[in-house]
Structure 1
């Protein structure tokens, strides 16, 4: 151990401050070929530190691999308290499992580690497990190995401490020692002579040192004098430097004072320049040329030159009053005086504009009313006021100025315009719709009827007439309807009405938006009424004298909504009569004929969907009317469904076609002519599905209620008619219902034939049913003739009861019964008769087959053949 300790001390821990206390040769427990050394090393500088170092040997070279401080050691596990165990586990940042090569090194390493941890670790100390208690003491481990007494342990402890003080030779000491030994070859053979030689050399060296010291005394004195001289010179230099430092400090203070004075001068100059610029800016902003002052006080709006001068003056005044001036400068007397002059000029100018525009609005309204009194009434048209708009547009800029500078005057002018023009539009729109009613009505009575919403003269029957076109009511009970050409005339005039309204309303709306600047929320000056309250914006002003024209910070969506609301309010003031008149016009004709609601629904939808501006007043008005029309349409369709459910059976000998089935053709044809290839097709299809579904339900219900006609006939005829009508309509959503109608018709036909045709050869059928029963009991078909009840004689006796003459007579009676059941409208008699013929042939073939199978060779046949049957049916059909 001493040898490897010496080697590691020299090659790895070569610093004088590092000393090895203990070394243990270990290998990994699993990979035992990888050899390394665990060393306990003490470092004395800069302070005493003890570490555990793992040294790895590679190709005869040693290299540090890991280093741990003592406080990083968490646990030492000896695996077994026996001293003969080679395993050793140390828990550091993880658990390391080692196998020690030498038991003595293992014991010494554990003991020294325990001693160093107890000396240097202040906090929580490592835990030693499965280690002999005798090792965990302050004494050296040499005691347990050699088995000496306690006194020997003290001596060995001193020896260990001295070994711990071992210092390795430096390279220079090692070279000098080697040189000395090489000069004395006899040192090994004659040690006394070698010691005498060493002592002699030492005496010579001491003498030479003393002589050298005595000889250098004068030189030392001279050196001391030079040092004294140098000190004096240094003091002189230091004094001179202090003088220079005082001069420099004085110069520095002087320069600092001069710099401060220059800075203050520059600041003053900059402030004067800024003040001059601000004053020039204020003067330029608040200066109003004399020509503009004259235009503001003596305004002439009747000439083109005066109007142009007024516009320029108003714009200049607006810029001056809304100029961006620092709030501090607003307290200047000159500024306040100038702003007072601005207020006087503004009030004067605003008053002149308001008076002039107010008179114009009133006169224009009166002139338009006078023109209407002499307007022709023979054609439907709505006047367009483009001339008025062009005349007023020249004053649009002044109107915009009024909105910004004097909101009160602007609101007053807006109210005067809407009042004057609103009266004009009220009269024009009423006259316009009166013209439309006159063109739709064919005579004065119809006109009065449409205006009052009453129906035409009721039929002179005891029963009260029902509204025209209800599916569940007999046509005889309908009130007088409107011809198809009248409906088409209404549709064309309605289209013209809507087309005439669009340009007039849109033109007026665009004029109002541009003239009254409804698409701009203009900021106001300090003395005008702000628009913030109307839009609910939370923008406050601390001082009414703050800069005018500050931008309003309002969300864009709220601004757009406010603009739309302002436009709508103005258009309602102008066209307030439009929506009620349009609704009255539509409702009056819908009361006359509910089919008008279909025409209105289609036309209004086309105009709403094709509108260029979906948010315009007219589009919103049409959309509102469209909602009411759609409700009326749905109400009309619901009345159709209700009339079908409440329909009553016709009190006739033959039921025939039910009212709603008969009326459905006219209803569907009318609806298709209106809704074909339109945007409201889906609405009609939805009601088609519901109406046809209710018709199918009620056919089944009413078929069981008629006292005379068989329910199979009622279903057969009505489902046949519905299938025919649905096939002609070719509506996609009704395809499934068309197939259902065909299926129900066929089922009713089969049920009717089965019930009323029955079995004309009943006794023969009963005879062979008995034969079939015997066969099922085990009697062979060839042996049936040997049965007493089913002998050949019995069969001939039964066949003799059905001569051809009697069969034909029975068929004639059946034909009359069928003819009595079926109605003439559907022409189903021949269809039913052909179905009965086919049924008779099937029964005939069945009987013939049974005769040939059970009575083969007996020469037994029916009195008639299939050709006879065909002849019977044909002759009966032709005779009727």
Structure 2
């Protein structure tokens, strides 16, 4: 009952509370109605004012559009005034240029006809007048002097370089002035053509005077500088001639080249003769180091004399005969060798080619025969006074000329001046080869060095000569090597003495030393290096093949010492011949780090050791035959896998038999056998053309023989241990072996 009352009271309270809240909101809305009306009124007023502002902005926009058109019109008027002002300025410049161009009279150019060119003052006056004339002619015809006609209307170009407008150029007064200027220029060019030959002769006379002086040094470029100093002051006039009258310029260049020809011809021939006088004649002793020499000697039946000339060690002789240029004259004089023919050729190139290169550079600089020069005639005149003009460094290499037509014109001039050079160098080359065909290698090297030096320069004339000489030398060298290989191969047929060091094996170490001395200091990337290496390989292959043929055909002479030798005489002689020749090749050949020689030297060393082993196996049969047979029999069975006990049980290999065989080799017998072996080795290898090399080879074979005896002792010890279990009462006479081989 009480609970129901509480719920009713809560419901009543909530109902009353809701009524109170609803009444409050309604009362509040009634109180604020006045404020809402006021806000609505304000918003309406604001909307009206915005509409009024929009009307004003629309009006302003229309007015501003009208002003924009007025501004654009004013700006267009301003630009028109600027263009008009620029055109008026250009017109003023053209009129001034026209007046300046046409203001020159014949009287103003009188100095070109009257002023002397052979003194400084007259030359300066002429150059100043020519500058005025040149500028006027350039304005009328901007194509003169290599100028771009398209620049004539460019207002950025200064008025001195400004060409006349084409309409003005067609004016009668301009055409009349142009004819007058061309006529004045042509008259001056005729005067210059008549004057310059005298100056060329004067300059060349100074050169000849310097060349014939008592203290004149051979090949000194300063002799030509004396003559060139006479001409340098006229260099700007040559530039004027090139730009204004190319035909007259070419004519003066032709006059110069014709007058220069005899001076250089006499000088160069004098240098060549002087160098040849300093050369010594190649002796027959030196020529014996060609592969072709021996056959010729045999055909002339003078083999004995040739043998005497081979006694001297090949490398020592080669060094004495052909010391390289880098060792200097003092060393050659000390050695008594003098100047070799190929060194004469190299010296001639060293002295002549700088003169040729300097002459071409002089022609380019003096006659301005290049498109790489940026100086025009007025600048050339203003750069220095006539008395101060000097050329640049004529010795310095120049880059290639881009204008190939102009480069060919310079080359034609060089061909005229030095028309004799190709022929004279070829004659000198033939003379060198006639002295000694091997000297051609040195010339080959000299030419390739020079070609590499000038390959990237403007020296087309020299390069053409060298290419021709290089081709000739290449052909001669290939023929020379073919002749040497033919001589090597003919040795197989013509040789009579088939023992000792064969001729071509003896020759090659000295031959290669001679060649390599000519190649001292060269760039390993030059073609000559690859060419020589290739020919080395051809020759060595022929040598080794021919040696094998000769050794196989050996008729077994010089080694027989009785009728009871168990060895195969032909096989023994085969080994002896190969040992002697391979030893000579290995000991005497200086590879100088060359791969091709290293390969063949290694091949020779391998052949030497192989045949040394075969030779020892053969000659040891005489002092140690029974012992070796017994050892080899037991070793062969052991190697096949047979048990040591079974081997020891064999009747032929019993301990008693082994003791008996060993007992035959006491101290006395071993000493006797070694002494006989020593004599036999000396007989086989001691009779050689080179005593020193022969002694060394005998000593080597004796040492190898001693090693063989030591190895025999080791083999005996192994068999005693492995087969007979150490139960053999025998001691190898080690001390006696060592003493005997001493």
Same fold (TM over 0.5): yes
Deviation at 1:320, TM superposition (A): 2.0
Does the CA-based 8 Å contact 1:645-1:694 persist in structure 2? yes
Which of 559, 572, 575 pairs up with 2:415?
Answer: 572
Counterpart for residue 361 of structure 2 = 510
Is 1:819 matched up with 2:662? no
SS of equivalent to 1:395: helix
Pairing 1:591-740 to 2, within 5 Å after superposition: 591-610=434-453, 614-616=457-459, 620=463, 623-624=466-467, 625-626=469-470, 628-629=472-473, 632-633=476-477, 635-637=479-481, 639-648=483-492, 655-680=499-524, 682-683=529-530, 684-685=532-533, 687-708=535-556, 710-726=573-589, 729=592, 731=594, 734-740=597-603
Counterpart for residue 251 of structure 1 = none
Once residues 871 and 494 of structure 1 are traced to their aligned partners in structure 2, the CA distance between those partners, rounded to angstroms, is 64
1:314–1:754 CA distance, 2 compared to 1 (3 A)? same
Deviation at 1:394, TM superposition (A): 1.7
Counterpart for residue 77 of structure 2 = none
1:504–1:840 CA distance, 2 compared to 1 (3 A)? closer
Q: Rg larger in 1 or in 2? A: 1
1:402–1:421 CA distance, 2 compared to 1 (3 A)? same
Structure 1 or 2: more helix by fraction: 2
Counterpart for residue 590 of structure 1 = 433
Does the CA-based 8 Å contact 1:685-1:733 persist in structure 2? yes
Once residues 612 and 769 of structure 1 are traced to their aligned partners in structure 2, the CA distance between those partners, rounded to angstroms, is 69
1:463–1:305 CA distance, 2 compared to 1 (3 A)? same
Once residues 347 and 503 of structure 1 are traced to their aligned partners in structure 2, the CA distance between those partners, rounded to angstroms, is 37
Which of 293, 300, 316 pairs up with 2:132?
Answer: 316
Does the CA-based 8 Å contact 1:602-1:674 persist in structure 2? yes
Deviation at 1:273, TM superposition (A): 9.0
SS of equivalent to 2:499: coil
Counterpart for residue 187 of structure 2 = 348
Deviation at 1:830, TM superposition (A): 4.1
1:797–1:752 CA distance, 2 compared to 1 (3 A)? closer
Deviation at 1:428, TM superposition (A): 1.7
Does the CA-based 8 Å contact 2:500-2:577 persist in structure 1? yes
Counterpart for residue 700 of structure 2 = 831
SS of equivalent to 1:576: coil
How many residues of Structure 1 are paired with residues of Structure 2 in the alignment? 558
Does the CA-based 8 Å contact 1:760-1:810 persist in structure 2? yes
Once residues 700 and 274 of structure 2 are traced to their aligned partners in structure 1, the CA distance between those partners, rounded to angstroms, is 56
Counterpart for residue 750 of structure 1 = 613
SS of equivalent to 2:117: coil
Does the CA-based 8 Å contact 2:455-2:463 persist in structure 1? no
Once residues 367 and 738 of structure 1 are traced to their aligned partners in structure 2, the CA distance between those partners, rounded to angstroms, is 60
Does the CA-based 8 Å contact 1:608-1:614 persist in structure 2? no
1:463–1:308 CA distance, 2 compared to 1 (3 A)? same
Does the CA-based 8 Å contact 2:537-2:596 persist in structure 1? yes
Once residues 520 and 341 of structure 1 are traced to their aligned partners in structure 2, the CA distance between those partners, rounded to angstroms, is 29
Is 1:561 matched up with 2:430? no
Which of 165, 186, 195 pairs up with 1:326?
Answer: 165
Once residues 631 and 359 of structure 2 are traced to their aligned partners in structure 1, the CA distance between those partners, rounded to angstroms, is 94
Deviation at 1:349, TM superposition (A): 1.6
Deviation at 1:587, TM superposition (A): 3.2
Does the CA-based 8 Å contact 1:614-1:620 persist in structure 2? no
Is 1:781 matched up with 2:645? yes
Once residues 490 and 633 of structure 1 are traced to their aligned partners in structure 2, the CA distance between those partners, rounded to angstroms, is 16
1:572–1:856 CA distance, 2 compared to 1 (3 A)? closer
Structure number with greater CO (CA < 8 Å, separation at least 6) is: 2
1:803–1:846 CA distance, 2 compared to 1 (3 A)? same
Is 1:412 matched up with 2:225? no
Which of 274, 285, 309 pairs up with 2:101?
Answer: 285
1:706–1:278 CA distance, 2 compared to 1 (3 A)? same
Deviation at 1:735, TM superposition (A): 3.8
Unaligned runs of 5+ in 1: 1-263, 447-454, 524-555
Q: Deviations over 1:660-708 (max 9, x none)?
A: 2222332233334333333258445555555445444443333223222
Counterpart for residue 732 of structure 2 = 866
1:650–1:806 CA distance, 2 compared to 1 (3 A)? farther
SS of equivalent to 2:109: helix
Deviation at 1:437, TM superposition (A): 1.2
Once residues 755 and 686 of structure 1 are traced to their aligned partners in structure 2, the CA distance between those partners, rounded to angstroms, is 38
Deviation at 1:750, TM superposition (A): 0.6
Q: Deviations over 1:408-430 (max 9, x none)?
A: 32222221111111122122211
Once residues 98 and 520 of structure 2 are traced to their aligned partners in structure 1, the CA distance between those partners, rounded to angstroms, is 72
Once residues 770 and 743 of structure 1 are traced to their aligned partners in structure 2, the CA distance between those partners, rounded to angstroms, is 28
Unaligned runs of 5+ in 2: 1-79, 140-162, 285-291, 323-331, 375-398, 558-572, 688-692
Q: Deviations over 1:128-171 (max 9, x none)?
A: xxxxxxxxxxxxxxxxxxxxxxxxxxxxxxxxxxxxxxxxxxxx
Deviation at 1:309, TM superposition (A): 1.9
Counterpart for residue 337 of structure 1 = 176
Counterpart for residue 222 of structure 1 = none
Once residues 850 and 641 of structure 1 are traced to their aligned partners in structure 2, the CA distance between those partners, rounded to angstroms, is 52
Structure 1 or 2: more strand by fraction: 1
Deviation at 1:272, TM superposition (A): 9.4
1:854–1:403 CA distance, 2 compared to 1 (3 A)? closer
SS of equivalent to 2:501: coil
Which of 397, 406, 429 pairs up with 2:236?
Answer: 397
Does the CA-based 8 Å contact 1:382-1:501 persist in structure 2? no
Does the CA-based 8 Å contact 1:604-1:622 persist in structure 2? no
Once residues 679 and 570 of structure 1 are traced to their aligned partners in structure 2, the CA distance between those partners, rounded to angstroms, is 33
Once residues 522 and 774 of structure 1 are traced to their aligned partners in structure 2, the CA distance between those partners, rounded to angstroms, is 93
Counterpart for residue 463 of structure 1 = 300
Does the CA-based 8 Å contact 2:433-2:439 persist in structure 1? yes
SS of equivalent to 1:385: helix
Once residues 112 and 716 of structure 2 are traced to their aligned partners in structure 1, the CA distance between those partners, rounded to angstroms, is 120
Q: Deviations over 1:437-465 (max 9, x none)?
A: 1222479x99xxxxxxxx99x99985299
